[in-house]
Structure 1
């Protein structure tokens, strides 16, 4: 949600700029999910949970 808000506030006024901002927000969110999942996996593995 934060990535979407940030990209939305920074986008231009044209339709193509809105599309690029939406794509960028989705990519940022997916990367964040993958990184956070990897970090939690390592933490759980170290703690043997």
Structure 2
């Protein structure tokens, strides 16, 4: 994923916009994941899953 992000810009002028959008998407996905684990699954973020 780092390799793709490093080579994702089609031109040098668009590099800042590409990285900004990449950060926004990754941040949004992270917030959705945190919400899902905390509110829907009712578990801690770094709590191990002890199901058998």
Band of TM-score, shorter chain: 0.5 to 0.7
What is the aligned partner in structure 2 of residue 13 from structure 1?
11
Unaligned runs of 5+ in 2: 44-52
* TM-score, normalised via structure 2 length: 0.59
The structure with the largest alpha-carbon Rg is 2
Unaligned runs of 5+ in 1: none
- Which has more helix, going by share of residues? 1
* TM-score, normalised via structure 1 length: 0.62
Kindly indicate whether structure 1 or structure 2 has the higher relative contact order, using CA contacts under 8 Å at least 6 residues apart: 1
- Number of equivalent positions: 42
Moved >3 Å (runs of 4+): 4-10
